[in-house]
Chains A and B, each alone.
Chain A
Amino acid sequence: MVFPTLQFIGFFAVVLALNGLFWNSNAWRKGMLIAASYVFYAAWDVRFLLLMGFVSSVAWLAGLAVTMPRLRRPAKAAGIAAMLAVLGAFKYYNFFTLSLAQLLQSLGLERDLPWMTVVLPVGISFYTFQAISYIMDVDRQEIPPRRNPADVFLYISFFPQLVAGPIVRAAHFLPQIDRPTRPDNAARAAAVVLILSGLFKKMVVANYLSVLLVDPVFGLPGGQDWQSAGAATLGYAVQIYCDFSGYSDIAIGIALLLGYRFHRNFNQPYRADSLRDFWRRWHISLSTWIRDYLYVPLGGRKGSPARQHFTLILTMTLAGLWHGAGWNFILWGFFHGAGLAVERVLRRAGARLPRVLAIVAVFVFVSLLWIPFRATSFADTLAMLAAFGRTDGYGALQIVPVVWGLLAAGLAMNGLPLTWRARAEIALARLGPELQALILALGIWAMFAAAQEGVAPFIYFQF
């Protein structure tokens, strides 16, 4: 079930009404939200429920066990290993098997390796990371373990963030389970702005850019010239920002209407004046997760400069692998890590660009690295990069005027002053609840009318 569908709107309307009905009964509200989240997830594939139930059960048991002195280390190791095993089996098994088979073949040691037909459960990377967050946070005594399994089940399955984040920290979410905040005028206003801006970014900007510009060019990279390659690269940079931040905005807005607050996941990432700044603004919940649970445990800023650079590049390479089981993603992560390391060296040497130039340089670097992220293979990545050196291409695209408007709108969503959003929220907060609801409904109606027919899935669902 995808957010911008009539199916989800009907589903959410029922959940919102039940949430209000059960507001004063913690146990009933939790039970209803777990049931709703499982129905939401089952809409993709009922079989996935078993996996999510397994992940939640292991996290709950590991959380209890890590507080027992004798079991602490083995429980933590077993819990995290179980999560990584789930990810490995469902997401990476065939990739590593294929890579091993190719390596053996190139060495003249061809072998028949066991293959599995695996359907990638949607959102698996997100909820396994949340489960790890729970185990680690309990282990670090940042939160007490939950005796009631319903708390952990709700934390892991809560439908607004289940399939594409934000990755919510246990220490942030679990206290809210017991005491959600009844949405007041300001919270509803913020939710309306978030949901409508998210729908606009996804349904209007991202989806049309995908169909009118990005997909045709990336679908035939060998036939493009530098203009269409450049436009599609810019188009994908805008598309992925609008697609993913749009999803996050909707998720945060929906959670807010149910009484739960998530941290924001995007903060105008294309205004970043360094790569370090970019990663503090892009997919913030993943960046901070990786910093706290991977980069720091791997050594972080400890050791010699060379060791620090190695840790940084390794962390980002693993972050690339988290995004997808493919060499393209590994390459993407590696180059981001290398870029961060080079930037650190330059910063320590005192080298600095003027801010505007730095923003442009970061945007160009990030946009070019979106090419391996978007291309379906390494060969397509090279073909797309080669197109930048061609002045004519047999498949070069005639770009319709509306595309330039979409690019401008997407960049404006990234670049407009945050005070504008704040003003819209303040204006909406002054209205009565009926008017707020009507504006939300009319806005959704307008987005659906402006959007294309059919539903394009969110890019980050595949991760």
Chain B
Amino acid sequence: MMSRMSRFTLTCLAALAAAWLLSGERFLDAVFEMPDLGRLDDAIIAAVVTLEDWKAALGLPDVFSAMRGAIHRALGLL
């Protein structure tokens, strides 16, 4: 049976995936800022590019930007 910490970790990972899907944020940008890990880096970048392409093809709305805009307008920051 899965431990409670494992369930917590898996939910965090799922939430991270959902947040990425519903935002305009790109993991590719974050990966390019990481230190070069040689061949491993190439594999990571290839995988992330595939995922980013898949996300773009889904055409999901950028909920994060909409929420950010609403909050900033409400606070008088826009």
Interface residues, chain A, CB within 8 Å of chain B?
1, 5-7, 9-11, 13, 16-17, 20, 39, 42-43, 46, 182-185, 188, 208, 400-402, 432-434, 436-438, 440-442, 444-446, 448-450
Contact = CB atoms under 8 A, between A and B. Distances in A.
A401 B71 contact: no
Given A42-B35, A448-B64, A449-B71, A440 B77 contact: no
Q: Closest 8 interchain pairs by CB?
A: A441-B15, A437-B11, A7-B30, A433-B8, A42-B35, A449-B68, A433-B7, A449-B67
Contacts of B76: 400-402
A208 B13 CA distance: 29
Nearest to B16: A13
Interface of B is mostly: helix
Contacts of A433: 4-5, 7-8, 11
B5 A183 contact: yes
Given A39-B34, A449-B71, A10 B16 contact: yes
25 contacts: A1-B33, A11-B34, A16-B12, A20-B9, A39-B37, A42-B35, A43-B33, A182-B5, A183-B5, A400-B76, A401-B76, A402-B76, A432-B7, A433-B4, A433-B8, A434-B8, A437-B8, A437-B12, A441-B15, A441-B16, A444-B19, A445-B67, A449-B64, A449-B67, A449-B68
B75 interface: yes
Nearest to B27: A10
A446 B23 CA distance: 12
A9 B68 CA distance: 19
Contacts of A432: 4, 7
A11 B30 CA distance: 10
Contacts of B4: 184-185, 432-433
B8 A450 contact: no
A43 to B, nearest CB: 6
Contacts of A444: 19
A123 to B, nearest CB: 16
Interface in B7-49: 7-9, 11-13, 15-16, 18-19, 25, 27, 29-30, 33-35, 37
